[in-house]
Structure 1
């Protein structure tokens, strides 16, 4: 490790599992002081103790909770260097069967949570004169899948909102980027026999990614290695959205 995040104060939402946990672990390995955020207190506290992070329970879909989170972190650590708005909600269901509750939750978490987190972090970072915001989108935002209309719609919105924010915040020393992961083996993968084999075959590189492979992209965007990168959507999907492979060749 290169200590690329030495003494940086980092918040990772959705940090108790999947990409969030992998990101928190990598940030810690690179020297960061990490606060993981999740709605599940029991799991969050357990993961924090295991990886050497701190835990704060927050429902990112609630504006007041996100504002308090950022205020509490800054009060405790004196600054906020990196905000990773990673928490997400998903429902793989046909459009006509999508319930209002499913719609409301995905919009609240996937879009609202990113907006609240970006805004709260920006208020602090613009005063500091520096900071990095990394928002988790999805390659489904640019290459949607059947049965995921609301999910893909929220992720497309995250990319556009982040780019607009990047333009606004760049003169104030704050970078904003998104990462758009492809298929990875997390708790969001359906518990269906043989699904991993199917997912592996859908990826041009031949396998579905581990969360740590996506976390490497977040680390890059958060680090000084990407000091001149803002308003960018980093797609990390093993070539899944690059195009279509030849058939029958």
Structure 2
């Protein structure tokens, strides 16, 4: 049995989840799915970004599930507003969409995300994705807390969590890349994709180097 399956079975993952989506049908669908996942998951659902921001101002959440295609404020603008909140800098955000991600979107927003889920999906897929994320992320947070008790500064621990989360997220975002690239007046579609992928790989390489540097400076970091 995998760790995530064990955690789900014994009910040890107690989490607060906020869903932001302007489609009531999808809100009903994901509410049903979340209820089937775990009794330990408590969640709120709102049908517009403004209400979602108000929820985040009043309460703390362990995860935000955010739809990209919303009107008049889309998921990208909502993500920026979340990150500008005092308590929204590091809260994990997983996106939903019926469309795959553009390479430019991954380059621009990858640092701020924790994952992506493609619509539509079955309940079991959502449960597995979220359970595995929480299991992995809890280990990361526990590692950072252990480092703090051993004298590692708060800002270094926060940086460790951020960098490892970003590495983890980029690899998952790349699983949902659109086969098309928006070329400019000079590059062809293939050249555009090649250039964007080099940019993303460079970002990942930079984060890996920073992660490894932190592990050398502070051996208590173990992930």
Q: TM-score, normalised by structure 1?
A: 0.37
TM-score norm. by structure 2 comes to 0.41
**More helix per residue: 1 or 2?**
2
